[in-house]
Amino acid sequence: MKRNIKHKRVLLKISGEGFGDENGRGLETEQFNALAKEIQKISKTGIELAIVVGGGNILRGAKLGSVGKSRVQADQVGMIATAINALFLQDVLEGFTIKTHVISAVEIKNITEPFILRNCLGYLKEKNVVIFAGGTGSPYFTTDTAAALRAIEIDADVMLKATQVDGVYTDDPMKNASAKLYKKLTYMDVLSKQLGVMDLTAISLCMENKLPIMVFNMNTPGNIEKAISGKAVGTYIGE
């Protein structure tokens, strides 16, 4: 039975740390299972869902690049890390009988599909989940930028950024107990205050294309469903 939803086509961005242990490292099966249960629930609403995954639980290219390694090659390894998360998530989702496609910006022949926009739009209209891996396919761009780019390309209604905290704060809530949660921000607020929720390129892309962003805690059951239903959850970023 379909429920009332505000957003018909959604891009969900999940950081690699969301798939790891309490320190955001490795592959934790229970994290994938919990997410799959949430996706199974919202799939019954008839929503069209695309997902961009990070790879920080396995490797961070930017971090390797900062300690003397080739940044280009480090980022390429990081792109492969996102494909590992994507393929694992695909396997778990299909265990919940959710038809899923892994689309990679980096060619991994016979394992993932290449990014062809027409194909992606067809899968979404068929209510298949599309998982984008490989970032943008180019070094120096974060998976947040990849998420913004893919959301714009597929004409998503909103970009949902699933994090480990309840939204955007005045300071790091993990380090400062006095940090306060913002309920609503403009793109310019994020840029001028340098809040760090996403990189500047990603925020600028969203601003230029009027793509709203919702930032919320992925570990709170029901948050994804609340977001697609238009209910207040986390922090809303828009005009």
Nearest to 91 by CA among 44, 138, 131: 131
Judge whether 39 lies within some domain. yes
Q: How many domains does the chain have?
A: 1
Domain that holds residue 32: 9-238
Q: Residue 209: which CATH number?
A: 3.40.1160.10
User: Is position 229 within any domain?
Assistant: yes
pLDDT at 1: 41
Model-level pTM greater than 0.75? Answer: yes
The reply to whether 150 falls in a domain is yes
The arrangement of strands across the sheet holding 48-53 comes to 113-114, 100-104, 129-133, 48-53, 9-14, 158-163, 213-217, 235-238, 184-186
Task: Kindly state whether residue 4 falls inside one of the protein's structural domains.
Answer: no
- Whether 84 is in a domain gets the answer yes
Give the orientation angle of helix 200-208 with respect to helix 143-153, to 10 degrees: 20
Q: Do 86 and 48 touch, CB atoms closer than 8 A? A: no
In a domain, 21, yes or no: yes
Structure token digits, residue 179? 């940090």
Percentage of the chain modeled with pLDDT above 90: 75
> Is residue 1 situated within a structural domain?
no
In a domain, 2, yes or no: no
Q: Assess whether pLDDT exceeds 80 at residue 37.
A: yes
Each residue's pLDDT tens digit, 150-197: 999 999 999 999 998 999 999 888 889 899 999 999 999 999 998 989
